[in-house]
């Protein structure tokens, strides 16, 4: 029983990381109608930047987190303006946007290897003196922090997209850019903010996973793809579905690893992705995400 509880806790934690990445995918699609595959590598840079601020420069964790989010936010905005917007102005097909983000992901991956190398880095514990127990199972405080921040991000993002004028403008821009512009909405600005917020979410995931795993250059490559799977499971474009899908995937991975074999850990995500694409492409929330592409 103790083993099961421990596996469930680990699965929920890992699922929340997948969920944050999935939130970024869903946000970009929901607000701009586009798809990006650079989230995982932005997460890696977030982990490395957080490590630099927190461990090497000795800044408080919350300050390191905010600085990392700010840098990622600016990067996402510049990415949209410098690459995505330029391609959109050329009226290219959506597949070219996908290919551009894949190319950028490799640039970030190789850039992180050049700057920080290929060896893993230890990310020091945030609260080393605090010991927690849940159902008689020792739990790292970073796991509680990871779950809490992930849930808060999900709720705030959903509120922002559905209850604020800017969030409504973002959704209107994705549905019909010409009509949105006719209504006075700055489509270029809303799209840029969308990519900026998505990048900040990915960097937050990197900061959260850093103390739980070693930080290394390929950290986000696999996690980014699994975050995409979580978004599909939950319903691509649905904020709550993204987090639910990520948690479901995280639990499945950890339980399969714990009770069958860790050799199937990476396989399970892509098998589940294929199953959902064939059986229920709209995900568990029945989000019709691909209809406008």
DSSP string, 218-275: THHHHHHHHHHHHHHHH-TT-HHHHHHHHHHHHHHHHHHHHHT-GGGHHHHHHHHHHH
Q: What pLDDT does 73 receive? A: 96
**Owning domain of residue 72:** 2-279
The CATH number linked to 229 is: 1.10.3470
288 within some domain: no
261 within some domain: yes
Which pLDDT tens digits describe the chain residue by residue (293 residues)?
778 888 888 889 889 999 999 988 888 887 777 888 899 999 999 999 999 999 889 899 999 999 999 999 999 999 999 998 898 888 888 788 889 999 999 999 999 999 998 899 988 888 766 677 777 777 788 888 888 888 888 888 888 888 888 888 887 877 777 788 888 888 888 888 989 999 999 999 999 898 888 899 988 888 888 898 998 898 887 778 888 999 999 999 999 888 888 888 888 888 888 998 898 888 888 766 544 43
Q: What pLDDT does 158 receive? A: 80
As a whole number of angstroms, the distance between CA 228 and CA 105 comes to: 14
90 within some domain: yes
As a whole number of angstroms, the distance between CA 212 and CA 249 comes to: 18
Q: What pLDDT does 293 receive? A: 37
Q: What pLDDT does 79 receive? A: 93
Q: Give the total number of structural domains in the chain.
A: 1
247 within some domain: yes
Alpha helix ranges (H) inside the chain? 2-32, 39-51, 61-79, 85-89, 94-116, 141-163, 165-175, 177-182, 187-209, 219-234, 239-259, 265-279
CB 204 within 8 A of CB 66: no
135 within some domain: yes
200 within some domain: yes
289 within some domain: no
Q: What pLDDT does 104 receive? A: 94
117 within some domain: yes
**How many angstroms separate the Cα of 219 from the Cα of each of 41, 209, 234?**
8, 10, 23
């Amino acid at each position: 029983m103790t083993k099961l509880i421990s596996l469930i806790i680990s699965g929920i934690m890992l699922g929340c990381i997948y969920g944050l990445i999935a939130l970024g995918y869903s946000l970009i699609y929901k607000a701009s109608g586009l798809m990006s595959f650079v989230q995982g590598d932005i997460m890696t840079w977030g982990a490395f930047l957080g490590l630099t601020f927190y461990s090497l420069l000795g800044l408080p964790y919350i300050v390191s987190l905010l600085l990392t989010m700010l840098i990622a936010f600016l990067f996402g905005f510049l990415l949209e303006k410098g690459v995505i917007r330029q391609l959109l102005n050329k009226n290219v097909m959506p597949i070219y946007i996908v290919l551009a983000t894949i190319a950028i992901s490799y640039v970030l991956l190789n850039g992180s290897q050049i700057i920080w190398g290929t060896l893993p880095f230890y990310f020091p514990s945030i609260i080393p003196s605090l010991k927690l127990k849940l159902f008689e199972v020792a739990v790292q405080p970073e796991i509680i922090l990871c779950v809490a921040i992930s849930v808060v991000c999900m709720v705030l993002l959903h509120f922002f997209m559905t209850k604020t004028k800017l969030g409504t403008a973002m959704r209107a821009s994705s549905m019909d850019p010409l009509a949105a512009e006719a209504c006075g909405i700055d489509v270029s600005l809303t799209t840029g903010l969308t990519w900026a917020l998505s990048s900040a979410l990915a960097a937050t995931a990197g900061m959260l996973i850093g103390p739980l795993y070693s930080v290394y250059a390929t950290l986000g490559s696999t996690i980014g793809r699994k975050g995409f799977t979580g978004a599909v499971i939950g319903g691509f474009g649905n904020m709550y579905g993204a987090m639910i899908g990520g948690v479901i995937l995280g639990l499945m991975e950890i339980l399969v690893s714990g009770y069958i074999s860790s050799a199937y850990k990476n396989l399970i995500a892509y098998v589940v992705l294929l199953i959902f694409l064939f059986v229920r492409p709209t995900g568990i929330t029945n989000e019709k995400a691909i209809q406008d592409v």
